[in-house]
Amino acid sequence: MSSVSFPALITKKRNGDQLSRDEIEAFVNGIANSSVQDSQIGAMLMAMYLKNLTMTETTDLTRAMMNSGETLSWPEEWKGNLVDKHSTGGVGDKVSLILAPALAACGVKVPMISGRGLEHTGGTLDKLESIPGFQVSVTSEKMLDIIRTVGCCIVGQTKKLCPADSKMYAIRDVTATVDNLGLITGSIISKKAAEKIDALVLDVKFGVGAFLKDIDTARKLAGMMVGAGKGLGINTVSLLTSMSSPLGKMVGNALEVAESIWTLQGNGPDDLFNLVIELGGELLSVAGKAPSSQEGRSMIKDAISDGSALAKFCAMAKAQGADPATADALCAPGNDVFSVLPRAGAIVELSSPETGYVTGIDAMACAVAAQKLGAGRSKVGEAIDYTVGLELLVTVGDKVEKGKPWIKVHTKNGLPDDLRAKLEQALVIGSEAPASGTSRVHEVVYG
Ligand code: IUR
- pLDDT, tens digit, for every residue of 119-161? 778 899 999 999 999 999 999 999 999 999 999 999 999 999 9
Sign (positive or negative) of CA dihedral 432, 435, 437, 440: negative
Determine what percent of the chain is predicted with pLDDT higher than 70. Answer: 100
118 lines ligand 1 (CB under 6 A): no
For residue 70, pLDDT beyond 80: yes
Confidence class of residue 117 from pLDDT cuts 50, 70 and 90? confident
Write down the pLDDT at residue 425.
95
Exposure on the CB side of residue 70, measured as CA atoms within 13 A: 9
CA distances to 40, 167, 215, 424 from 10, rounded to whole Å, are 8, 17, 32, 50
Write down the pLDDT at residue 1.
59
Cα distance between residue 211 and residue 204, in whole Å: 9
How does DSSP assign 31-73, residue by residue?
A: HHTT-S-HHHHHHHHHHHHHH---HHHHHHHHHHHHTTSB---
Confidence class of residue 379 from pLDDT cuts 50, 70 and 90? confident
pLDDT (average), residues 96-105 = 98
**Known catalytic residue: 191?**
yes
Write down the pLDDT at residue 436.
72
Cα distance between residue 224 and residue 182, in whole Å: 7
Specify the 3-state DSSP secondary structure of 387. coil
Q: What is the position in ligand 1's atom list of the atom closest to the CA of 191?
A: 3
CA distances to 125, 338, 384 from 342, rounded to whole Å, are 16, 6, 13
Residue nearest to atom 5 of ligand 1 (CA): 184
Q: Quickly count helices (H) and strands (E) in the chain.
A: 17, 13
How does DSSP assign 266-296, residue by residue?
A: T-S-HHHHHHHHHHHHHHHHHTTSSSSHHHH
Rg (CA), the chain: 22
Domains and CATH numbers, the chain: 6-66 (1.20.970.10), 76-159+173-332 (3.40.1030.10), 346-430 (3.90.1170.30)
pLDDT (average), residues 48-54 = 98
Write down the pLDDT at residue 119.
78
Is the CB of residue 51 less than 8 Å from the CB of residue 80? no
Write down the pLDDT at residue 356.
97
187 lines ligand 1 (CB under 6 A): yes
State the Cα torsion 379-384-390-396 to the nearest 10°.
Answer: 40
For residue 380, pLDDT beyond 90: no
Write down the pLDDT at residue 371.
94
Specify the 3-state DSSP secondary structure of 208. coil
Cα distance between residue 405 and residue 392, in whole Å: 9
CA distances to 152, 362, 370, 381 from 116, rounded to whole Å, are 19, 22, 15, 9
Residue nearest to atom 6 of ligand 1 (CA): 184
Q: What is the position in ligand 1's atom list of the atom closest to the CA of 187?
A: 4
Confidence class of residue 2 from pLDDT cuts 50, 70 and 90? low
Cα distance between residue 26 and residue 49, in whole Å: 19
Kindly report, residue by residue over 295-308, the tens digit of the pLDDT.
Answer: 999 999 999 999 99
Is the CB of residue 215 less than 8 Å from the CB of residue 221? no
Between residues 3 and 169, the one the model is more confident about: 169
Q: Which of 87, 86, 92 is nearest to 371 (CA)?
A: 92
**337 Cβ partners below 8 Å, 6+ apart?**
257, 258, 261, 262, 330
- Partners of residue 118 on adjacent β-strands: 121
Which residue of 165, 169, 204 sits with most ligand 1 atoms within 8 Å of its CB, as the best mutation to test the pocket? 169
pLDDT (average), residues 242-253 = 97
- The average confidence (pLDDT) of the chain is 96
Cα distance between residue 308 and residue 364, in whole Å: 34
Cα distance between residue 94 and residue 99, in whole Å: 9
Residue nearest to atom 1 of ligand 1 (CA): 188
Give residue 357 CA to ligand 1 midpoint distance, Å: 36
Kindly report, residue by residue over 410-445, the tens digit of the pLDDT.
Answer: 999 899 999 999 999 999 999 999 987 779 999 999
State the Cα torsion 91-340-156-114 to the nearest 10°.
Answer: -30
pLDDT (average), residues 347-376 = 96
E strand map for 95-190: 110-114, 152-156
Cα distance between residue 339 and residue 125, in whole Å: 21
188 lines ligand 1 (CB under 6 A): yes
Least confident window among 92-101, 109-118, 328-337, 349-358: 109-118
Distance of CA 31 to the CA centre of its chain: 26
Write down the pLDDT at residue 120.
78
Give residue 193 CA to ligand 1 midpoint distance, Å: 14
**286 Cβ partners below 8 Å, 6+ apart?**
199, 201, 235, 236, 237, 446
